[in-house]
Amino acid sequence: FYLQPSRGVRMVQNVILVFFRRRLSQRPAVEELESRNILKQRNDQIEQEERREIKQRLNRKLNQRPTVDELRDRKILIRFSDYVEVAKAQDYDRRADKPWTRLSAADKVAIKPPLSARLVPVAFSLGNP
């Protein structure tokens, strides 16, 4: 038992078919995609070969680098201490002292009223010109 699609369904299918055919015809050609570097022209073997060559070239450059001593001899690599006198300094904690971290709850309650009394008039005077 097979049902024939109605005329409306066939029209919708036809419209969809025309739409997709038009979209396919507007699609760029393979040559255009290759020229814009969207579609790669080469295979995996060629890409692996190029990567291996790049790795070899970079390794060669790294191996031919001058050493630190050679750079110092040629006055390319210099140290700060070569130009400025550096004295020994005592090691100590240079972080700022934060005394409010040592306050107890009672100390905070005792400090709050005088601070509030000093800050509240300033806040109200800023709000009223």
Q: Comparing 28 with 4, which gets the higher pLDDT?
A: 28
Low-confidence winner among 16-20, 29-33, 92-96 (lowest mean pLDDT):
92-96
Residues 90/96, Cβ–Cβ less than 8 Å: no
Q: How far is CA 46 from the centre of its chain?
A: 31
State the pLDDT at residue 7.
Answer: 85
Cα–Cα distance for residue pair 58/51, rounded to 1 Å = 11
pLDDT tens figures, 32-84: 888 888 887 778 888 899 999 999 999 999 899 888 889 889 888 888 777 88
Those residues with Cβ within 8 angstroms of residue 30's Cβ, 6 or more apart along the chain or in another chain: 39
**pTM of full prediction above 0.85:** no
Q: Comparing 129 with 49, which gets the higher pLDDT?
A: 49
